Amino acid sequence: MLIFILLATMFTANDLKQKCVGTETHEQFYCLGYLAGFDGGTAYAALLEAISSVGLDRAAGSAVASQSYQRVTGCSSDGVTIGQVKLIFLKYVEDHPEQLHLPAAFIVSESLIAAFPCRH
């Protein structure tokens, strides 16, 4: 029962898409706020991972945090604005409508990784 409730209340890529293409100001604020929160949350999680794995060694921590962040957002995305992230997300879901039922955070991540692939 709990799994059904969680799935029924999950914020999907389609939910985010509807906000991002909405014409009302509050919808645009919601969309951009979600994307900014995704970025901030991802950066914070990367920092926590770095601290837990290498402690407070600044140089090593920076490298670990950068790698962790790039696993979720792709590479070379520095300087990309939230408005650009919105366009990247919308293009991705337009090209992959079969993924609209998936969690929004997962699809935002997938869209960024597709737009900014890491070349190792």
Establish if 20 belongs to a structural domain. Answer: yes
d(CA 44, CA 47): 5
- Give the alpha-carbon dihedral of 119, 84, 80, 97, to 10 degrees: -30
User: Residue 25: its pLDDT value, please?
Assistant: 97
Residue 2: the pLDDT is 52
Mean local confidence (pLDDT), 11-26: 97
Quick one: average pLDDT of 2-16?
74
C-alpha closest to that of 19 among 88, 107, 90, 81: 90
Please check whether residue 23 lies inside any domain of the structure: yes
In a domain, 45, yes or no: yes
Work out how many domains the chain is built from and give that number: 1
Q: What is the span of the domain harbouring residue 58?
A: 11-115
Asked if residue 111 has pLDDT above 70, the reply is yes
Is 4 a domain residue?
Answer: no
User: Does 86 reside within a domain?
Assistant: yes
Q: Given this model, what pLDDT does residue 100 score?
A: 97
Structure tokens at 29: 């604020």
Is position 120 within any domain?
A: no
